[in-house]
Amino acid sequence: MDGIVLLDKPLGLSSNQALQRVRRLLLAAKGGHAGTLDPLATGMLPLCFGQATKACGQLLGSSKAYRVRLGLGAATTTGDAEGEVVREAAVPNLQRARVEAVLGSFVGEREQLPPMYSALKRGGRPLYELARAGQEVPREPRRVRFDRLTLLRLGERDVEFDVVCSKGTYVRVLGEEIAVALGTCGHLAALRRLWVEPFAPDAMVSLEAIEQWAGAGEPPAARPAWLEPVDLAFQSLPRLDLDSRQALHLTQGRVLAAPATLAASPAVRAYAPEGRFLGLVTVGPDRTVRVERLFVSGSGGPEPPT
């Protein structure tokens, strides 16, 4: 079972719990998820199965969009609604123009300090384990990017907005920083991931729909429409169509000659004659095509030197 499931992760499940539940329903031998969502967050969680697990690293580097409800006037230990309130502050009378100006000030690149309640590891232990034990350790700030922040609703004690951001962004930290910029403190009251590049929001499937499909047979005969093909993760890359002999040689790790119409590129999608996705190749300035990563079973390694 090779493919990508764009799960609409429900509230209350960790990313790994969601992955394992879907993996069992698909009877998949192996699987992985691209980008962690906390149990209190919902929305798009790309799950990769079979050969598609090789695409997880690519998806982890993608831009993402979130819908955020930021509660104002109370800061928590975790930066979200799961933690205990550790500080309270008055909420000023906020005007829409003021909030929009604050949101706009975050657009662009900036340094962000990862929170203690995160899956980053120190000495082999996740930081959230240290945080729960009352420990705080130094963390290195990381460079993140915010492409767009759009105000949706302004309440007396909360703000709802959409944000498009780069990989590695901690939205709970963004929420805390926005609350401070508004003259108070805050925490994430709700968080939903709207999409992960390059996937469209309407491609998500619910856990209930997957369970219904799995219950239709032992195992169901037809491949479900929501099991996306592996190459969907690479649709922005150039395409190279091979004949049967070239496809065989590529899966054996041999070097091919690039067609004159294909420009040099560090990443190109390669396909067999029947349209089967073989994997990613590089096209060098010397007009050679070399395997970068194969996404087919039973392929050989690189051809031995002669």
286 is catalytic: no
The sign of the CA dihedral 168, 173, 179, 182 is negative
Residue 87 and residue 71 in contact, taking contact as beta carbons nearer than 8 Å: no
CA distance 116 to 291: 40
CA distance 141 to 134: 21
Closest CA to 9 of 204, 241, 264, 286: 204
Beta bridge partners of 98: none
DSSP codes joined into one string, 142-202: EEEEEEEEEEEEE-SSEEEEEEEE-TT--HHHHHHHHHHHTTS-EEEEEEEEEEETT--GG
From 2, 8, 38, 231, the catalytic residue: 38
DSSP codes joined into one string, 97-147: HHHHHHHHTT-EEEEEPPPSSSS-EETTEEHHHHHHTT-------EEEEEE
CB crowding 210-232: b at 16 or more within 10 Å, else e: beebbeeeeeeeeebebbbebbb
Amino acid, res. 293: R
**233: how many CB neighbours lie within 10 A of its CB?**
25
- Catalytic positions, written as ranges: 38
